[in-house]
Amino acid sequence: MAYAATTDVDAEELRRRIQAGPHSLWRYRDFLPLTQAPPRDTLPAGWTPLLRADRLAERLGLREVWIKNDAANPTHSFKDRVVAVALARAKELGFQTIACASTGNLANAVAAHAAAAGLDSYVLIPSNLEEQKILATGVYGTHLVAVRGNYDDVNRLCTEIAGEHEWAFVNINMRPYYSEGSKTIAYEIAEQLGWAIPDRIVAPIASGSLFTKVAKGFEEWIELGLVNGTVPTMNGAQAAGCSPVATAFAEGTDICRPVKPDTIAKSLAIGNPADGPYAVELARRTGGGVDSVTDDEIRAGIKLLAETTGIFTETAGGVTTAVLAKLAERGDIDPGERVVAVITGEGLKTLDVVRDTFETYEIDATYEAFEAKVPGAVAA
Ligand SMILES: Cc1ncc(COP(=O)(O)O)c(C=O)c1O
């Protein structure tokens, strides 16, 4: 890391360097584990919008809610960040083949970024993933392997393959680099808030990497004097059908007992989360928590976000929004707090879950039929 080599870091100079950088996560390259300039043929991950969500806040009885919309990445999830960093490092180390074990979004990102970089790729997924995620992976010309088993089975298999092949598995042998990519979410939030730290972050947890690295991003910038304050209160969000971290938090332990996932939030369906204990510790240390929500609450979360902000998120974002709503309802959030919900993926990837959640008025092509069937259609 370039900044680490500097003994006397000038915060003003660092801010200037960042602001002069590209509109992508590479503006933070001084804070990322690369030894050379980032490759030129990468998809531009990061620098996604941070939007103030006043109507959502109003519905929840809160003053200030922001949405960090990471669906606005090249393959429509935050996984573009982690893949961009892991792939850049893999290239530095001379790997020719990129690979991953994925719950869906990582598959999309690895296949696309490998195509952009001209590298060969192997993507292993559970065979029961959403069709949209499978199609949006295969299209990039990767070797797509659908494993009959859940994510934890896929991950075990990939660990075995990584022992046999000189491949860069972004979330296995490249994991230390991969996980650093998620810090850039925190950097962007701080920069977009005018070099300030929000009071609270609500973010989803699968392996726990994103959740813990977002906090690490804030910690680093506080230490460097780029922002003032303390690490936000960290609230993690899981689906009730796969909630080993929420369960450990509720039981007051940091041992996350593995579970067999059964939830519509397939992107979060990791039953044996690698960073689970660190996520529990972080939530406790910052006065936050880890909550879980049912599949119906996830659907309601997707609808709530869509109807109040115009942002259509996938099931993981439904989990995050539903947990935010739960915290607000429970009175855990002080109404004066500035809260940021990290929306990590795109609704078009999990279309099936919103089927039958709204009414369509099917009519004949006549004005009479329109007036007869559609609420509010009768002219005043
Ligand atoms: C959309 C989405 N959000 C959040 C996560 C959670 O990521 P992590 O494994 O870093 O906890 C994932 C992981 O696959 C994901 O696909």
Same-domain pairing of 120 and 252? no
Which residue from 150, 172, 370, 171 is spatially nearest to 270, judged by alpha carbons? 150
Q: pLDDT (tens digit, 9 = 90+) per residue, 5-19?
A: 444 569 999 999 999
Same-domain pairing of 236 and 314? yes
Q: Tally the domains of the chain.
A: 2
Q: Which atom of ligand 1 is nearest to the CA of 267?
A: 16
Residue 324, pLDDT score: 98
- Residue 260: Cβ within 10 Å count: 11
Decide if 150 is inside a domain: yes
Same-domain pairing of 116 and 174? yes
d(CA 105, CA 78): 8
Asked whether the predicted pLDDT for residue 2 surpasses 70, the reply is no
Decide if 139 is inside a domain: yes
Asked whether the predicted pLDDT for residue 169 surpasses 70, the reply is yes
Asked whether the predicted pLDDT for residue 229 surpasses 70, the reply is yes
Residue 8, pLDDT score: 57
**Protein residue with least CA distance to atom 3, ligand 1:** 344
Distance 6 CA to ligand 1 centre (A): 33
Q: Which of 267, 342, 353 to mutate to test the pocket of ligand 1 (most atoms within 8 A of CB)?
A: 267
Same-domain pairing of 215 and 328? yes
Domain carrying residue 213:
50-76+182-354
Q: Which atom of ligand 1 is nearest to the CA of 207?
A: 9
Distance 327 CA to ligand 1 centre (A): 21
Q: What is the 3-state secondary structure (H, E, C) of 155-187?
A: HHHHHHHHHHCCCEECCCCCHHHHHHCCHHHHH
For 182-189, what is the mean pLDDT? 98
Q: Which atom of ligand 1 is nearest to the CA of 205?
A: 11
Same-domain pairing of 141 and 200? no
d(CA 303, CA 310): 10
Distance 337 CA to ligand 1 centre (A): 25
- Residue 363: Cβ within 10 Å count: 15
CATH of the domain at 162: 3.40.50.1100
3-state SS assignment for residue 236: strand
For 313-322, what is the mean pLDDT? 98
Please provide the average confidence, as pLDDT, over all residues in the chain.
Answer: 96
Same-domain pairing of 281 and 350? yes
Residue 41, pLDDT score: 80
Residue 380, pLDDT score: 79
Same-domain pairing of 140 and 167? yes
For 43-71, what is the mean pLDDT? 97
Same-domain pairing of 247 and 347? yes
Query: What residues does ligand 1 touch, defined as CB less than 6 Å away?
Result: 77, 79, 103, 105-106, 204-211, 267-268, 314, 316, 344-345
Same-domain pairing of 205 and 323? yes
Residue 6, pLDDT score: 47
Q: Which of 179, 202, 268, 305 to mutate to test the pocket of ligand 1 (most atoms within 8 A of CB)?
A: 268
Same-domain pairing of 102 and 63? no
Same-domain pairing of 230 and 114? no
Residue 147, pLDDT score: 98
Decide if 42 is inside a domain: no
Decide if 111 is inside a domain: yes
Same-domain pairing of 189 and 292? yes
Decide if 370 is inside a domain: no
Residue 99 burial class via C-beta count within 10 angstroms: exposed 0-12, middle 13-18, buried 19 and up: buried
